[in-house]
Amino acid sequence: MDRRTMLKSTLIGGAKTAGAIRKFWVVSDAGPESTMVDVLYATDMRGLVRLILGTGERDWLESNTLIYDNEREARKDAEARLV
């Protein structure tokens, strides 16, 4: 199974079960002129799949991207990366 098929298969059924995570916060490494909106943003499962497919494996790994289900923890990580 290729990467696109695998990621698309995670969307089947969506977040229909109790306790499902519907929103993620994504944090990536900051560049020299990055602001908070460059390193922290919220998305859902569809947006996350588009992000991963659009970024490409090499850039995804090099950006040290982490995905959080807790906004407070994500913001704390993002603030640390901007220093």
* pLDDT tens sequence across 31-56: 999 999 999 999 998 888 888 888 88
52 falls within a domain: yes
40 falls within a domain: yes
16 falls within a domain: no
37 falls within a domain: yes
Question: Structure pTM?
Answer: 0.71
In this model, does residue 10 exceed pLDDT 80? no
Domain of 31 in residue numbering reads as 3-8+22-82
In this model, does residue 66 exceed pLDDT 60? yes
Q: How far is CA 53 from CA 4, 40, 60, 73, 76, in A?
A: 7, 18, 9, 25, 26
* 19/41: higher pLDDT: 41
15 falls within a domain: no
In this model, does residue 15 exceed pLDDT 60? no
13 falls within a domain: no
Number of domains into which the chain is organized: 1
17 falls within a domain: no
30 falls within a domain: yes
